[in-house]
Amino acid sequence: MRIAFFGDVVGKCGRNAAIEYIRTNRVKYGFDFIIVNGENAAHGFGITQRICDKFFEVGVDVITLGNHSFDQKDDLAMFERERRLIRPLNYPRRTPGRGFVVADAHGLLGRKVMVVNVMGRLFMEENDDPFVVMTDLLSEYKLTVNVDAIFVDCHAEATAEKTALARYFDGKISALIGTHTHAPTADLQILSRGTGFLSDCGMCGDYDSCIGMDDESPIKRFTSKVDAYAKMIPAQKEATVCGVVVDVGNNGLCSNIQTIRVGGFLKEQKDCLGRF
């Protein structure tokens, strides 16, 4: 089974680039299951039903989120009715929506993928312990027993926390891929018990920017208390599409993992899956 995952989609240019890449390459590269982190998709802050629908139309199976999950407050009922949209599992119990979903893989009869969204706590907002909530979840869902793959989007600031989570659950999940920092890292690997790991897969957005935002507002925030709340606006030049592809064997563990990094201002990865 081949799972494709695309990192934080930032603004219109990131949405358009990710959608075009998926539309062009879903069949070409044999993606059986597609996941997108969409927490910055709506002008950099949150997501809307209209944007969700655009991703689903091109074959996205699940959309994960993060600390900007509820920035678009006009339609919070979306989180209850749209089971393919998940927010962090370790949010407080009364939070709208759900933190994981089990869905069918394309064209693979009976093959089920569980996607989990968890958020870190270091340098982030207060949330439940991700180690505890993941342990509870994995006591119910097990590889090769009731799911064929378990993919975790770990939305966190600290590399050490993401690494610790991956190593703690090594062998119990197919892959743990980090999001949130918008900067792709170079620590792609398969851990000793078979879990694929990358501490951050980067964003789908304009890298000629300050992590996807037009330079002016972030610089003002860092250089002046007066401008500490200057409005952030997504950059809108050519986007780079960043993500990973995880191949999962019959044992539910990662047999191969490779990056996607194409277009825009970042240097293309030589081992990535080609340009759109």
Q: Which amino acid is at 98?
A: R
pLDDT in tens, 105-154: 987 878 999 999 999 999 999 999 999 999 999 999 999 999 999 999 99
User: Looking at residue 275, what is its pLDDT?
Assistant: 46
Q: At CA 8, angle to CA 150 and CA 177, rounded to 5?
A: 30
pLDDT in tens, 141-155: 999 999 999 999 999
Region of poorest pLDDT, from 49-63, 126-140, 175-189, 210-224: 210-224
- Residues of the chain above pLDDT 90, percent: 83
Q: What is the mean pLDDT of the chain?
A: 94
Q: Which residues of 129-165 are buried (b: 16+ CB within 10 A; e: fewer)?
A: ebbebbeebbeebebeeebbbbbbbbbbbbbebbbeb
Which two tokens mark 232? 């952030």
Q: Which amino acid is at 17?
A: A
CA atoms lying within 13 Å on the CB side of residue 242: 34
pLDDT in tens, 217-252: 888 888 887 776 678 899 999 999 999 999 999 999
What are the φ/ψ torsions at residue 124 (nearest 5 degrees)? -125, 180
The topology under which CATH files domain 2-262 is: Purple Acid Phosphatase; chain A, domain 2 (3.60.21)
Sequence spans of domains, the chain: 2-262
**Higher pLDDT pick, 260 / 265:** 260
What residues contact 73, with CB distance under 8 A and at least 6 apart?
none
What residues contact 249, with CB distance under 8 A and at least 6 apart?
255
pLDDT in tens, 69-98: 998 988 889 999 999 999 999 999 999 999
Q: Is the pTM of this model over 0.85?
A: yes
Sheet containing strand 189-190, strands side by side: 100-104, 112-119, 149-155, 175-179, 196-198, 189-190
Known catalytic residues are 68
